[in-house]
Each structure stands twice: as C-alpha cells, then as structure tokens.
Amino acid sequence: MRKTLRQLSVDTGYLLSMFFIALPSFIIGVVGTALGVGTAVIWIGVPIAAATLFAMRGMAAAGRSMIPAVLRRELPRPRYKRAREDASALRRFLTPLTDGQSWLNVLWAVAILPIAIVGFAVAIAWWTATAATLLYPTYTWIIEAATNGSDDGLHYATEWLGWGDSYLARSILAMSGGVIMALTLVPVLRGLALAQAFVGKGMLTSISGLHERIDQLEESRNAATSAEADALRRIERDIHDGPQQRLVGLGMELARVKRQLATNPEAAQATLEAAIAQTRETIDELRSLSRGIAPPILTDRGLDAALAALAARSLVPVELETNLNGRYKAAVESTVYFVTAECLTNIAKHSQAAKATVSVEDWGDRLVLSVGDNGIGGAHVSKGHGLSGLTDRVKAVEGQWTIDSPDGGPTVIVVEVPSA
C-alpha cells in the first residue's frame, strides 16, 4: 500500500509538472525552429536554429528528469555530438545542427504537449472529483447549516434512485462515487504518466540507448578476445612446460633403451617400463589440458551431462542440481561449463572445503549458475588468483556475476548468463 501511494504521488507530480515543462518547450522549439528555418536563406536563421537546439537541451533534460521515477528504472544519459578539440568557437556553436538527438528534442516538444495537456487536466479533475465526493458530507452540512438549505442538484439523482431527498441519501450517493473515483485514481493516473514517460523515453534516450548498447557489445567483444587470448597463452604455456618436456624426455628414454638392448637387456627393460609410465603421465596431463577446450561430452550430450562429469571428477564432493530445458547456444553452454570448472578448481586448491554445491536454473531469458562451498572464504578475482579469468568469460557473453566470500566462509558465486 505504501509503495502504491508513493508511486501515485510520483505520477501525480509528473503529470502536473510536465505541463509547465511541455508548454515552454513547445513554444521555444516550434517558434525557434520555424524562425531559424524561415530565415536560413539570409543566414541569420542558422545561429537562431543552433541557439534553439541548445535551449532545447535544457528543456529536454527537465522533461527527462522524472522519467526514471515513473518507469522505475534508470535511463541512459543523452550523448550529444561534440566538435573536435581544435574546432573554432563558431563550429562548436553550430554543432547541434548536425546532431540527431538535438532535433529529436524538438520533435519531442511537439509530440508531448497534447499528451501533457490531457494528463494535467485529467489529474486535476480526477483528484478534485475524488476529494469533492469523499468530503461531500462535511462541506454540504456546513453550507446547509449556514444557508438554511441549498440545491446542489444531487437530490435529482437520489430521488430517481428512490432514496428520497435527505442529507443522508445524498451523502451516501456522493461518497459511493468518491470511492469509485478513488479506486480508479491509481490506474488512470498511472496510465497517463506511463504514456508521457514512454514518449519521453523513446525520443529523449533512444539514441543514447543505442550508443550504450554499442559500448556494451564492444566491451563484450574485447572481453571475449581477452579471454580467448588468455586461454591460448595458458594452454601454450602448459603444453610447453608439461607434455612437451615429457615428450622430449620420453624420446631420450627410448634412445637409451635402444642403446641398452645390445649391452644390458635388464637395464633396457627397466628403462622401458619407466618410459611407459611417463607415457601414461603425459596422456593424463594432455587430458587435463584438454579440459580448457570444449570437451566432447559438452558438444555431444549437452550441459547437463558435462556438469555431471565435471562434478564426478572433482576432488571435493559436489552436490549438483540442474533445471535445464534442452540445449543452448554453444557460447552459453561453454561459459557455464568453464565458469563451473574454474570455480571447482579454485575450491579444490584454496578453500579447504569439505563440500561444494553447484546449481544451474533456466529462468527463461537467462541461465543462473550458483556455486558454493563451506570452506574458509576469502575468494576474490584479482590477478594471480584462481578466479581471475571469470570476469572476462562472463563479460564475453554479456553476463553478470556476484561473489560473496567473507573470511571464514562460506563462499557463494552467482553467475547470470543471457540465454535468449
């Protein structure tokens, strides 16, 4: 109830204030633009139009100021075109003439005025009617006591209903209407406020919203590139330091076996057994490294089976719970898989946990991964630590994540990955 009343006050304030913003915006925008375009042939209209567009930036900012409160979400700030650093003062002054958002501000002023007039009139009329009908018994009693009766016309309605012409009948009828007006006050004003707010959102923030989306995509692309480069460097380093060195040693061992076969068969046998053991170790290490690349089970059988395999070979017991609906895009499945693998590896190495939990749920437009443990806590994502690669992986698919890992534990990591 408190939230509804707070929103009602916001919507009412928006409807009432927008009229006093829309009217001067319309006058400045239409008159200034018409004068500027009309006199552009003699060049005096060019600075007039530029000055009008500058003025409209302020009016648009005023019109945009209450929209977040009405829509209950933040909106992107407008990005107006700017002249180059070395541009002259005249060039800077005339820059709005080539800026799309500046012209949209003028179009908004034209479109918003009739909506603002309707919203202003309906808000005043609805509030007035509501207050007048609900307070009817009070002021009618005072008026009748002071004037020895008055004819407010309401007795025609009560007589038509068969209620008579009494003060009580008129009061009941008026208050009944007041209750109806009060019950419809919230949806009516909410609808009008949303209509104005969506017009303002579409015209005053659409271009800046596109700019923000481009920035997000660029950031995601950079994160994906960085994550891929880091993964390639890690695999290259691990292969160089691990299997490559083992294979060089294996080649030397086999060459020694060849020499020993003619002179010392028993030593050759021992060397050969050591080489075989080294071969097994190299194969195990290559399998471990291949986990940094999409495993066949993920490609062939999907995320459910891949996470089950990941949990089965974890060094820490894992309680796995999944609620998935079929297959998803390869990037989504790969991100969830590798984030889970990275988290479980970090738990095994650093957390001293006795148990870990992994939960993946499909929330329609996104997959929500939750990984927790009962270890000592203190996990973070700074460079050189176990979770340092998580940020880039999640950003690469425009996901979000949070980590809660106080000293002493427990640790909970929640990752949301868009799946639509």
Q: What is the pLDDT of residues 340-381, one digit of tens each?
A: 888 888 888 888 888 999 999 988 888 999 999 988 888 776
Structure tokens of 177? Answer: 């209407």
- Which top CATH class is 296-418? alpha beta
What single-letter amino acid sits at 251? G
**Cα distance between residue 158 and residue 21, in whole Å:** 43
Determine the straight-line distance between the first and last CA of the chain, rounded to whole angstroms. Answer: 35
Q: Give the dihedral sign, CA 200/201/207/211.
A: positive
Q: Is the pLDDT of residue 210 over 80?
A: no
Residue-level pLDDT at 360: 92
Helix (H) or strand (E) holding 118: helix 100-134
Residue-level pLDDT at 91: 77
Mean pLDDT of 161-182: 76
Structure tokens of 48? Answer: 């007039």
| Most confident region among 31-35, 50-54, 116-120, 353-357 by mean pLDDT | 116-120
pLDDT per position as a tens digit, 404-418: 888 888 889 999 988
**Cα distance between residue 211 and residue 292, in whole Å:** 34
Contacts of 47 (CB under 8 A, 6+ apart): 93, 94
pTM, to two decimals: 0.54
Of 215-224, 268-277, 376-385, the range with the lowest mean pLDDT is 215-224
Mean pLDDT of 291-307: 76
**Cα distance between residue 30 and residue 259, in whole Å:** 97
Residues comprising the chain, all counted:
420
Of 18-22, 73-77, 361-365, the range with the lowest mean pLDDT is 73-77
Please give the torsion angle defined by the CA atoms of residues 36, 40, 45 and 49, in that order, rounded to the nearest 10 degrees: 50
| Most confident region among 164-173, 339-348, 382-391 by mean pLDDT | 339-348
Helix (H) or strand (E) holding 416: strand 411-418
Residue-level pLDDT at 287: 64
Indicate the domain borders of the chain: 2-204, 242-290, 296-418
Could you tell me the pLDDT band of residue 385, with boundaries at 50, 70 and 90? low
